[in-house]
Structure 1
Amino acid sequence: MTSTSTPPGLARFNELEEHAALAALHEACASTAWARRLLAARPYATPEALYTASDAAMAELSTADLAQAMAGHPPIGRPKPGDPTSAREQSGMAGAGDGLKAEMLELNLAYQERFGHVFLICATGRSGEEMRDAVRERIGNPPEREREIVRTELGKINRIRLARLVEEDA
């Protein structure tokens, strides 16, 4: 039984069958290693404990695990069709003009060619121009530096998605 001080959404997550909890975690992050680490540490007393575990798991991901996590993210400006999460997170590009959208497509392709994966940024609350400026700035990074920036951005995205998971109504 969970403590009465545990928020209801977190209590529900703690009580999910393993397969259902794993599926919920995969909605937040496509890395199996990350999801398994979080699953193994249940139950969580507070949302902050879950976020801290997420950050720790993210810090431990191998290059292959990071690649798996990134593979779950569509390019900026092209959310997955029928995926309300990516559409909501990339809403800053929704109202962008055709010129900005075309520029983002070109920058995304150049970034992907340079680094071998999609440009990843925590897009929540960012405008299309801010995302464009970020890819312009980051495309010149050395691969090792960019990998650590991606790890940080994934951590931010995971926290937002986990908050949504544990704050959801039944």
Structure 2
Amino acid sequence: MTALPAQHRGPAPHGAPRGLAGFNAATPAEAQALLLACCHSHRWAERVAAHRPYPTVDALLAAADEAGYDLSRADLDEALAAECSAVPHPDAPPAARTALRAAHAAYESGFGHAFVISLDGVRPGERLDRVLAGIRSRLGNEPEEERVIAAEELRRLARARLAFRFSEALTLRHTGS
């Protein structure tokens, strides 16, 4: 998912490791499945999984960032192909839904992939405006300039998704759920 926060990526894969200890002890395939749910670049997931064990979630996030900076053109294409356009909240007015669909269509037509933007830290009531403003401001970019921006946004999304997965696992463990 492109513009929505990490929690909207859906639940962790069935049988996914819980917590950092579980991630560190998981098989390479299990670890990569969790990572691919955060950024769909096989090379990125393999690289992050291969550097286990991580002593802290912060160390894992730093490794994910580093791997994100090293995405090749093919890796970025693979990851962007798996992203999809965000949909507005069901309570959004019809005009907002129409505007968002039109903006996404224009972006995808111009750049060949879904619009990606990290909304980590953006309040829910501001997300639609942030996405629309982001699309409008980036539509005028040259393709190579937009690839650089999309790569940075994808790296930020992967980091936020990973942080959410591990905060969710930690919360479940601490609440006894």
**Shift of the alpha carbon at 1:45?**
0.7
Equivalent-residue separation in structure 2 for 1:144 and 1:32 (angstroms): 22
Superposed CA offset, 1:110-169 (max 9, x none): 111111111111134342111101100010011111111111111111111111222313
Select 1:121's aligned residue among 110, 113, 117: 117
Shift of 1:106: 0.9
Equivalent in the alignment of 2:151: 151
Q: Is the 8 A contact 1:13 1:166 kept in 2?
A: no
Q: Normalization by structure 2: what TM-score? A: 0.78
> Equivalent of 2:81, from 68, 71, 74?
71
Q: 1:51 aligns with which of 35, 48, 61?
A: 61
Q: How do 1:10-159 and structure 2 match up within 5 A?
A: 10-77=20-87, 93-124=89-120, 125=122, 126-159=126-159
The separation in 2 between residues aligned to 1:10 and 1:34, in whole angstroms, is 18
How many residues align? The count is 149
Q: Which has the higher contact order (CA 8 A, sep 6+)?
A: 2
Query: What is the percent sequence identity of the aligned residues?
Result: 36
Deviation at 1:58, TM superposition (A): 0.8
Name stretches of at least 5 consecutive residues in structure 2 with no aligned partner: 1-17
Check conservation: 1:93, 1:127, Cα contact below 8 A.
Answer: no
1:19 positional shift: 1.3
**TM-score, scaled to structure 1:** 0.81
CA contact (8 A) 2:116 2:150 kept: yes
